[in-house]
Amino acid sequence: MKKVLTIAGSDCSGGAGIQADLKTFSAHGVFGMSVIVSVVAENTSRVIDIQDITPEMIEKQIDAVFEDIEVDAVKVGMLSTPECMRAVAGKLRQYKPEHVVIDPVMYAKNGCPLMDPSAVDALIETILPLADVLTPNIPEAERITGVEIRSVTDMEAAARKIHDMGSKTVVVKGGHAIGNALDVLFDGKQMYHFETERIATKNTHGTGCTFSSAIASQLALGMDICKAVEKAKVYVTTAITHSLAIGKGCGPTHHFYELYRHGLPTQESEVAECR
Ligand SMILES: Nc1ncnc2c1ncn2[C@@H]1O[C@H](COP(=O)(O)OP(=O)(O)OP(=O)(O)O)[C@@H](O)[C@H]1O
Ligand SMILES: Cc1ncc(CO)c(N)n1
């Protein structure tokens, strides 16, 4: 069985972070493991507080996994401070996992900050060059490049710029744009577009975590990067189509094995209720 590790924050309400990552791994039939970087008291509406795990404890968790288990792919999510970033970067350089997908999480869907704004330089210097695939959303790509994104051409320019900053492949996600949900991939040679109709729902909590974990799962399963992103886009679109009206804010994406395998809802009543 392929084994995939997430290094990220914990969302106690289950829709994003480590929890979304592990659900996505299970739906892909890979064995999921987790290193917790921050414990976030959050729900579908707000972030109440963040407790960072110490850099030493982050390093020990990563050692515990790598000294014992062969890791086929790593997904990195929320890293709230430069200290967390340095701890994770040092261990990724030490263990050199084959596939590294990094989601440079800065804000939750409800706008609450999850990364110290002053940490963007550390993110650029220590984390960004370690990515085989970096998956910023539009506001994150703007913060990283310092350039405003208003069009698909701007998304492409941002993807090129982030590639030049050291990420091997960049996917600028269009979840925050208007119109179709169009993601732009640049691998240093070619630009690819992945486009679906925008699903009319506010229940998009954890879409970015779901997408990056699906990419990591597909890379572990042997897909090349372009195919992995294409398949992850189908997965996240299905998970949003069947997203759940749980909580008072932006509800979570829905993961279940049958949905992934057959594209059919197994819990008709719940799916109907959430639309
Ligand atoms: N309403 C929607 N309909 C269809 N696809 C969507 C919708 N919202 C987001 N997506 C897709 O979901 C994926 C994740 O993109 P998004 O920009 O939402 O990530 P994100 O902001 O990092 O998510 P989060 O921070 O909530 O985890 C992309 O493939 C994007 O195109
Ligand atoms: C822990 C965590 N990671 C990532 C996100 C982004 O959705 C979130 N809301 N919470």
User: pLDDT at residue 269 above 60?
Assistant: no
The average pLDDT across 84-111 equals: 95
Which residue out of 206, 241, 249, 251 is catalytically annotated?
Answer: 206
From the CA of 206, how far away is ligand 2's center (Å)? 6
User: pLDDT at residue 258 above 80?
Assistant: no
* 3-270 fold: UDP-N-acetylmuramoyl-L-alanine:D-glutamate ligase (3.40.1190)
In whole angstroms, what is the distance from residue 125 CA to residue 36 CA? 22
Cβ of 80: how many Cβ atoms within 10 Å?
22
What's residue 260's pLDDT? 59
Which residue out of 209, 210, 233, 249 is catalytically annotated?
Answer: 209
User: pLDDT at residue 161 above 50?
Assistant: yes
User: pLDDT at residue 265 above 80?
Assistant: no
Which numbered ligand comes closest to the C-alpha of 184? 1
Which numbered ligand comes closest to the C-alpha of 18? 2
Question: Is 75 among the catalytic positions?
Answer: no
pLDDT tier for residue 262 given thresholds of 50, 70 and 90: low
User: pLDDT at residue 104 above 70?
Assistant: yes
Which residue out of 145, 207, 237, 253 is catalytically annotated?
Answer: 207
* Nearest atom in ligand 1 to 206's CA: 27
Domain extents in the chain = 3-270
What's residue 216's pLDDT? 98
Q: Is 179 left (phi over 0), alpha (psi -120 to 50) or beta?
A: left
> Ligand 2 within 6 A of 40 CB?
yes
> Ligand 1 within 6 A of 28 CB?
no
The average pLDDT across 224-232 equals: 96
Tell me the per-residue pLDDT of 194-218, one tens digit each, with 9 for 90 and over.
999 999 999 999 999 999 999 999 9
* Nearest atom in ligand 2 to 9's CA: 1
From the CA of 156, how far away is ligand 2's center (Å)? 25
Q: Whose CA is nearest to atom 3 of ligand 2?
A: 17
In whole angstroms, what is the distance from residue 159 CA to residue 167 CA? 9
In whole angstroms, what is the distance from residue 41 CA to residue 47 CA? 6
DSSP 156-176: HHHHHHHHHTT-SEEEEB-TT
From the CA of 95, how far away is ligand 1's center (Å)? 30
What ipTM score was computed for the predicted complex, to two decimals? 0.98
From the CA of 161, how far away is ligand 1's center (Å)? 21
